[in-house]
Amino acid sequence: MTRMISFRTKWIRALTCWVLFVSLSAAPAFAQDLVIRFFNVGQGDAALITSPEGKSALIDGGPNTGLASYDLDSLHIDTLDLMVASHNHADHLGGLWDILRTITVRAYMENGVAATSNAYFDVISMLHAKHVQYLAATPRTIQLGSVALRILPMPAPDKTQNNSSVGVLVTYRGFTALFTGDAEGKERTYWEAHAELPHVAVLKVAHHGSVNGTDPAWIEATRPMVAVISVGAKNMYHHPSEKTLSTLENAGAQVYRTDRDGDITVAVDSLGGFTVRAGKSEPVRSWPAASASPH
């Protein structure tokens, strides 16, 4: 009887050690402190930034299809500390109405250039109904816990929505990500001259990868390791352009596209290293902390 108990005890201990070993082997090398999720919302933009402290900011909400709202709900997000409309085109703004309607939004920022679309008026009406704090897109830094969101300086007044896009530079432990809305050449040139841009780990490619959203000088200024293109499958605009893809490829950037890769998740550890997962079943690619530091 004693020998049976001893054997059983040893077997249980061995099994426990094996389970512990497997668990540790499967765990990531670093804790994921900052998470950036690029949602696949079709032809549009929507990205969620979640800080280590659990604070959240949403940049754009895609078109009014409910997809961004569904993604937030699936992540059990019931509060956004900040919502940013990069500009007031429906493929960036449309989905924000449903999000404003269903969850708590503490502050809202947009470019200050009014649009005449129903999508714009619906969002403005909901902002007033919910008494959401309005923030002007002036050069400033907003703390999302330990993550800094630097709002890029706006160019001289421009009547076009694209060249009035709100730029956001995200920094955390040496890691940098740059959101560009649909900025075209005029605004990007302004940022190059006035924003003191660092080289970035992750670049949200402007204007869905269109030919007017990227040029060699811009890529030389930002030197992205990863480029994310938020774009709809088989869209009528033929985004992204072959020229943009070639420019990014020649610069050595790893390109991800929501039309092919689905949701794209960037997880940043406490040392500034990061991983990228495209979709649910694709392999994860990693970049060490040294590569995430400013060049």
Domain ranges for the chain: 31-292
Q: What is the pTM of this model?
A: 0.87
Q: How far apart are CA 64 and CA 76, in angstroms?
A: 20
pLDDT tens, residue order, the chain (295 aa): 444 434 444 443 443 333 333 333 333 334 469 999 999 999 999 999 999 999 999 999 999 999 999 999 999 999 999 999 999 999 999 999 999 999 999 999 999 999 999 999 999 999 999 999 999 999 999 999 999 999 998 888 788 999 999 999 999 999 999 999 999 999 999 999 999 999 999 999 999 999 999 999 999 999 999 999 999 999 999 999 999 999 999 999 999 999 999 999 999 999 999 999 998 666 789 998 856 544 4
**CATH topology for 31-292?**
Metallo-beta-lactamase; Chain A (3.60.15)
For Cα atoms 99, 268, 22, give the angle at the middle one, nearest 5 degrees: 110
